[in-house]
Copies of this chain bind each other. A is one copy, B any other.
Amino acid sequence: MRRTKSQSEETRQRILDAAEVVFIEIGVSKASLDRIAAEAGVTRGAIYWHFANKQELLTAIFARVYDLHVAVLARSFEDAVDPLQVVLDWALNVIELFGTDEHTRMVYKIIVTRCEYLSEMQEAFTLQRSMHDTMVENFRRAFERAEQAGLLAEGWTAATASTTLHCFMSGLLDNWLRYDFNADVAKNLRAALLCLVAGFRRNVAVPVPSEREARSQLA
């Protein structure tokens, strides 16, 4: 029995949901389209109707969260007065994105721990690359502005501060997704981030902002 257009879109979404689940469960390489179809309550025929192959299915999973993803990454970066505050806000935004959206978490968990990072997958990894590249570029620009404005604490340069925060964020996400952090750990991570960024700032007495303050400045 043929479905209506909206039913078809439902089927497509169910397939994507099922693929996420199965990929997480047994990894991308071992996940057969048959297994994914069973999880979605359809047959392989349905999958081949909506997607050319497993590769395209994987790409589609990533594409589904891409817009939300880009929206967070692209938040204003140039016009703000205090570059260190901007950097902090941006990092908090990323953490909040991962804390809020389960699809984002599942997709990144798949990228980080459930598939192999090969050049042939280039297209599928656009999501991860854009995230990484945006992070590196944003941090570099902001910390250079901070350095020129004399905002950086003794010892730090734009390069070292940028590298430090970038590695911190990468490791944070990697650990989060690899070991399934709970809410407590996430809270601790935010606290650590606040300390870290505060430490970049010159002449701070006890400047660690409370989380409420930090979040109010996001609004």
Name A's B-contacting residues (CB within 8 A).
Answer: 26-30, 112-118, 153-156, 159-161, 163-164, 166-172, 174-175, 178, 188-189, 191-192, 195-196, 198-199, 204-208
Contact = CB atoms under 8 A, between A and B. Distances in A.
A146 to B, nearest CB: 14
Contact of A189 (B114, B167, B191): B167
Nearest to A169: B171
Contacts of A171: 166-172, 174
Contacts of A113: 116-117
Contact of A30 (B29, B153, B159, B160): B29
A78 to B, nearest CB: 25
A195 B156 contact: yes
Q: Is the interface of A mostly helix, strand, loop or mixed?
A: helix
B164 A174 contact: no
13 contacts: A114-B117, A154-B208, A155-B199, A155-B208, A156-B195, A159-B191, A164-B196, A166-B175, A167-B169, A167-B189, A169-B171, A170-B171, A170-B175
Report how many copies the assembly holds: 2
Nearest to A164: B192
A160 to B, nearest CB: 4
Contacts of A196: 164
Contact of A164 (B26, B154, B163, B168): B168
A39 B169 CA distance: 38
Minimum-distance CB pairs A-B, first 3 = A171-B171, A170-B171, A29-B29
A38 B188 CA distance: 50
Nearest to A172: B167
Given A27-B29, A164-B195, 16 more contacts: A29-B30, A112-B117, A113-B117, A114-B116, A114-B118, A155-B195, A155-B208, A159-B188, A159-B191, A163-B189, A166-B171, A167-B167, A169-B171, A171-B172, A171-B174, A174-B174
